[in-house]
A and B are shown apart, each in its own frame.
Chain A
Amino acid sequence: MTEVKDSLYEQFCPLTTVAGQHFVEWFSGADIENASYPKRWTESNTNGAGTFAMSSSVDGGFEITTGSGGNNTYQNLTFNDIHQFSSTASGFIVVSKVSSVASTKYYMGLENNSYYTVSFNGNEAYYRTGTRESSTGSSQTATGVASDNAWHVHKLTTDGTTVKHWIDGVQYTTTSNVPTGTQANFQPFIQVYGNASKTASIRYFEAWNS
């Protein structure tokens, strides 16, 4: 049985510890960016205007649909370059899916030129762990979970040496091009790629400094 604490704070750490930056986004409500909803995220388009909309369906979350600017069109959801999470000691959880597998790509994670992310490419066989250290290069490391259009929960953590990636509770790891702190701080980001009407959905995003 869960021990009852006075505060949500104490559910995660004792008051003797100063908690690091942490946020939880449930993607529930009218919208996430416009004036009718508390502002946290910034939406932007690259190479063609897509759409950003809250889904009016059970467990639908938030939908990002690509525009018609060719295969290099992509839509972005970020903190507008407010970087509050450590590049070498942090973690995040996303719950996401795509509507159609073929030719849909997305990255969901933490970035600031370097990054560590969930990496989905419907033209690849498996979900991948995306890592980039700007001073050395990028890697896309395949997990054992086949690319599909089902909801999955992804948890990623980094300690500056190893990125661990759990998909539905099963752990995969990579040490290739793991961010080492060239950029000290990251922001949450979601990028969805695909020519015309490729949709990725997200219904939970949580990030923390460890």
Chain B
Amino acid sequence: MTKSLHELFASDIKPRTRFVEHFSGDALDTFRWDTTLVNNGTVAMSDTSNGGLILSTGTSSGTSSAQIDFGDKKQFGGASSIIWTAIHSHSATGESYSGLTAGSTQGSGAQGIYSYVNTAWKTTNFDLYTVGAGGNTWTNGTIAGLTSNHSHKLELTGTSGKSFVDGALNCESTTNLPIAKMQPSFGLSSTDTTNKTINITYCEAWEN
């Protein structure tokens, strides 16, 4: 029987950067995660089964947002992957970026690979947004169900960026792929008074 977690993945190579977050407990691990809250946005542990961490925009007028990341500690490069499980409450209003970013603020256009949700501006599927050194590419997703619970995976190989939803290929981009170092980031914003939420129950990222 395998004795170590490392050996589960690769016993013959040096371990690359990897982290696993279960979003369980009485509070978010703020030694790992940094929160950015604007205009009464909140981040809190959800007191419900499979609730994980809940990001909320709140009900204030004006632009509200909630974001978590590694506080600009960027340990993942252009050949890395990220898996998370999440459920969004929003689709047509509010927007969310989930994935790996070289930036500090969601939607800033920083290099990265993102799963994007906002049907008012993009499709009714999980769209893929990649930003490289010279520009960006929006790729329409093919998998719907924005407000259902899903597993997501974004995979960067150096020549492509792929989005998987529930294990199925959602879409792929081969242009404008990030080459900068990046951090995990989940961000949600709203410009109206309807509370938008994302519940995240798992996140894992690693260097391929």
Contacts and interface: CB of A to CB of B under 8 A. Distances in A.
Interface of A: 2, 4-9, 11, 14-24, 37-42, 78-86, 184-185, 207, 209
B150 interface: yes
Contacts of B47: 81-84, 185
Interface residues of B, number: 43
B24 A39 contact: no
Contacts of B151: 9, 15-19
The A interface is mostly helix, strand or loop, or mixed, namely: loop
Nearest to B10: A4
Interface stretch (B117-125, B177-185, B200-208): B200-208
B48 A7 contact: no
A15 B166 CA distance: 5
Interface stretch (B28-36, B95-103, B133-141): B28-36
A18 B166 contact: yes
Determine the main DSSP class of B at the interface with A. loop
Interface string B38-54: 00000001111111100
Contacts of B202: 9, 19, 22
- What are the 4 A-B residue pairs with the smallest beta carbon separation, nearest first? A40-B25, A23-B24, A15-B167, A80-B26
Nearest to A86: B49
Nearest to B27: A39
A84 B202 CA distance: 13
Contact of A21 (B26, B31, B49, B164): B49
A4 B83 contact: no
Given A8-B5, A20-B50, A84-B46, A42 B26 contact: yes
